[in-house]
Amino acid sequence: MPEEKRRVNFNAPEPLVRQADIVTDLLDVSRTRLLVEALQDEIEEFVDDEQFQKELREAYYDRRVEFSSLKTVLGTEEAMRVRMLRESLDRDVPEPRDGSELPTQEEFYAEPVSEWTPDGQKSSTGRADDREPDEERSGS
């Protein structure tokens, strides 16, 4: 399917138009083709520039640029990544809840805490050590 075209008229400084005409005569191309290719090259430089990409993303995050414009410049895949990030930034962060109250300091520290001791010595729990029976057999 042929690409849709749009007529654009603009004013340019006379010396620039004369230069363009000289180039088009030498290359045997139309002024339109020269301008379109020059514009494409310039836009590609912007798209490849990290600072420009950062400014474009920030404009999208601030809702100064629509998704369709972002997609046109960055391509579908990168535009989707940027949109997903904006959506994740827009969400409210849920607060974790387990449905119960936290214990008081007294409740939390009410149980005796066993202390680590070298093998064979008694700990505060009265056992020779605090390892599980399986650990004792394996020697670790």
The whole-number pLDDT of residue 120 equals: 64
Span of 2-16, 23-37, 63-77, 125-139 with lowest mean pLDDT: 125-139
Residue in 5, 34, 2, 30 with CA at minimum distance from that of residue 42:
34
pLDDT average, residue stretch 22-40: 95
Q: Where are the alpha helices (DSSP H) in the chain?
A: 14-27, 31-48, 50-61, 67-74, 76-90, 105-108, 133-138
Share of the chain above pLDDT 90, in %: 50
pLDDT average, residue stretch 103-118: 81
The pTM (predicted TM-score) of the whole model is 0.53
